[in-house]
Amino acid sequence: MSEEFDNPVYYDDDADASHIDSKTVAVLGYGSQGHAHALNLHESGVDVVVGLREDSSSRSAAEAEGLRVETPADAASEADLVSVLVPDTVQPAVYEEIAPELDAGDTLQFAHGFNIHYGQIEPSEDVNVTMVAPKSPGHLVRRNYENDEGTPGLLAVYQDATGDAHDVGLAYAQAIGCTRAGVVETTFREETETDLFGEQAVLCGGVTSLVKHGYETLVDAGYSPEMAYFECLNELKLIVDLMYEGGLGEMWDSVSDTAEYGGLTRGDVVVDDHAREQMEQVLEGVQDGTFAREWISENQAGRPSYKQLRHAEKNHDIEEVGEELRGLFAWGEESDEEQPAETPADD
């Protein structure tokens, strides 16, 4: 265990496979994370059963990989550890289906804390409740494992009924390859709230809004849509890759002096103290449950606002321009011909 960080970090030597190698693990769902967890566990020697609906389109894919497939309830019935890897929005219904099949001492595991943290799922007190969350899309979790590499992950224990829930979770993390890279200990609250905030304020919400506003500013000023797309969206990947590989310092060291000076002197003009205040409001909405209640209600109502917003986003001018320009790149042609390895976790 590393003590260099604020939160403990665990590696292969910290995990004890005996806490899982004699157990049957049910993986519910065979989407992005589900297929990676199931296959990695299976190849680590763990007895795995995949839980899918009778009409699931993923059944044939799982069976083709040599995995046993049962209904979620049947899979949970024979399992000692149930890994719930279906989307957040369907987890409560799936839990109601499998709850009668959970025995005292079983482990109920998640890859995201939303439904536990916000009380949509309330497990009985006699089962462990843990989280193992790889910090990567499922297809990379799988690819890294196959290449004898690791994917960093998170580990949290919400409820320890047996006294060894932490060890069970860590053994699971080892079996899917996360301890090869390092597993950071956290809590359901911390993981859920930071994850939602990051998605809304920066990764999915903040960045896309910044890109669109930049694009619109240039186009409205008379510049061509093509130039606006290149400067405000296409080149974003180059900057993000530099930050990913070496932090902000690596990025500043890699761009021109002109770009660095312009960014250092003008960046805070655009994303200013007002933006920070708005971010704090977004965080407050995550912390007090406002966003969770809104999202739950939105789903119960059939997602009317979600559908409207999604339609508007897909029909923004930047999408039409981008579709044409991406065809100029070799990778753009390849992406049109090939489907990505990752599939939505829709089962």
Residues 6+ positions from 1 with CB-CB distance below 8 Å = 8, 9, 10, 11, 14
Q: Cα(233)–Cα(257) distance, rounded to whole angstroms? A: 21
Question: 222-260 burial string, b = 16+ CB within 10 Å, else e?
Answer: eeebeebbeebbbeeeeeeebeeeeeeeebbebeeeeee
Handedness of CA 297, 300, 301, 306 (dihedral sign): positive
Q: Cα(170)–Cα(289) distance, rounded to whole angstroms? A: 29
Q: Which residues are catalytic?
A: 112
Q: What is the dihedral of CA 257, 261, 266, 272, to 10 degrees?
A: 110
Q: Cα(233)–Cα(210) distance, rounded to whole angstroms? A: 10
Among left, alpha and beta (phi > 0; psi -120 to 50; other), residue 196 is alpha
Q: Cα(14)–Cα(183) distance, rounded to whole angstroms? A: 10
